Structure 1
């Protein structure tokens, strides 16, 4: 069925809970792991990543991930451990979340630039892993405009994803899977959960957030379109690890993802319906909502 939009009353209630009380609250849809700061949190996640590949290797199993091109600081710990401990990543399959397109739906050249997420991942992930341990190129699954079905077909062929490692947008995006805002189609939660790899217009609030974070809110610097893997791939996972430590931008969405029923208004809320093990990792500042303090009459 189509999920109604969340009410202000629901959101205000969730935001008013002191963060120290969240762990004991009934009705949470996912697990919560709060760490002191971003550095501690991302180092722990990097270790979780290295442990998963190492453990799967010991069992003779492939490792199948969905990875973001941001945040990237978890890769520091992962790459260090891979190189130091000689953790073989030749059997690691990586489904990349998304890629930017220009206003004419054309991809940008692959380079270490903001517009090229493939170039970003080469610089911060692949090229930092020792060559003899590095995932082969045919194990790196990118959404491409000339073969949109390939990620979904490969996901099905491999039997689904092990872990989604995901940053989350302020309005609940995962990859560039955002709230549908078109008058002409209104997908249900079930339809959205089976959505395929596709070309998307990036929602305006996401463009503002990216421009503010990187370019002094110069909106002209942000690509307006993208390619994204759909939730068909993401919802096939056994586990999802949300990484959210961006402070004020994410305080409200953290509360929504903890308590909301599935809704396309905040797509991140859909995952717990399909993924059996979901954890939000965050830091004390991000999870501490101002509306849980003196709100001066809100």
Structure 2
């Protein structure tokens, strides 16, 4: 069965969408918008004397050089910020991959974000959090303790996954939305897509397991902001915004969120086929 939403034109994209879409120009505009929203929210919360709590991805990552520059230029204190990263790859025996591995999200954040911010502005190490396969209850409990997440940032994967919340059609949308931090197998489609981008197609060496925060944590954020910009995002963003709500395509659950927004570059805005 063909789906008409894949043939929505760039000009018509957004009309009648059940998730708001903000159409922008090139990818740089998407990344700048995400970085600016991060900085603006931190400035607002700092002025109120309150904590800022973000869920952060490693993919997309184009926002981080802009964020780092703005933080350093504005001398913006991150001392009251908590950055909770979405996920990390695991070895076959269930441990984090080594931080020195080029695929490591922990390594990326330490090198490209925390390592490039003025140390006097940086939050303490305990406020830079990754889901831990040996302590899966920590992040849901921490979010509750902190009073919730202000903004969950991220992208959308080829299977519609947010973080590594891969589809599970055996669950209802409500059951899927209740899933919390856990370890799981990475779907073959996701492994193939990611290994093309990150390992030159070396599929046999690509991780098979991951640890991820749950849909419960993402959908519980007061705001959700996602960026899409790749060729295959043309289909993904259309299904997310116009398709039926289903655990078979997790991004469709955003249709039930009170303040979700997807930033779409001019490439991803083009019709899928």
TM class, shorter-length: over 0.9
User: Mapping of 1:139-178 within 5 angstroms?
Assistant: 139-178=127-166
Cα distance between partner residues in 1 of 2:30 and 2:84: 23
TM-score (norm 1): 0.88
Equivalent residue in structure 2 for 1:124, among 112, 115, 131:
112
User: Mapping of 1:185-204 within 5 angstroms?
Assistant: 186-204=170-188
Secondary structure of residue in 2 paired with 1:263:
coil
Counterpart check, 1:17 vs 2:11: no
Are the counterparts in 2 of residues 115 and 223 from structure 1 also a CA contact under 8 Å?
Answer: no
Aligned to 2:94: 105
Deviation at 1:216, TM superposition (A): 2.5
Q: How many residues in Structure 1 have an aligned counterpart in Structure 2? A: 273
Q: CA deviation digits over 1:63-102, x for unaligned, max 9?
A: 1110001211101111111111111111111111001111
Are the counterparts in 2 of residues 165 and 242 from structure 1 also a CA contact under 8 Å?
Answer: yes
Deviation at 1:271, TM superposition (A): 2.6
Secondary structure of residue in 1 paired with 2:201:
coil
Change (3 A) 1:213 1:115: closer
Are the counterparts in 1 of residues 76 and 121 from structure 2 also a CA contact under 8 Å?
Answer: yes
Secondary structure of residue in 1 paired with 2:167:
coil
Secondary structure of residue in 2 paired with 1:161:
coil
Equivalent residue in structure 1 for 2:233, among 227, 233, 250:
250
Runs of 4+ in 1 over 2 A off after TM superposition: none
CA RMSD in angstroms comes to 1.4
Cα distance between partner residues in 2 of 1:140 and 1:214: 24
Are the counterparts in 2 of residues 164 and 240 from structure 1 also a CA contact under 8 Å?
Answer: yes
Cα distance between partner residues in 2 of 1:290 and 1:243: 17
Counterpart check, 1:288 vs 2:235: no
Equivalent residue in structure 2 for 1:240, among 219, 224, 244:
224
Deviation at 1:207, TM superposition (A): 0.5
Are the counterparts in 1 of residues 225 and 263 from structure 2 also a CA contact under 8 Å?
Answer: yes
Q: Which runs of 5+ in 1 are unaligned?
A: 1-7, 292-298
Aligned to 1:259: 242
Cα distance between partner residues in 2 of 1:93 and 1:106: 23
Cα distance between partner residues in 1 of 2:57 and 2:272: 29
Q: Which runs of 5+ in 2 are unaligned?
A: none
Cα distance between partner residues in 1 of 2:140 and 2:33: 30
Cα distance between partner residues in 2 of 1:102 and 1:170: 22
User: Mapping of 1:61-80 within 5 angstroms?
Assistant: 61-80=50-69
Deviation at 1:215, TM superposition (A): 2.4
TM-score (norm 2): 0.96
Secondary structure of residue in 2 paired with 1:276:
coil
Are the counterparts in 2 of residues 72 and 124 from structure 1 also a CA contact under 8 Å?
Answer: no
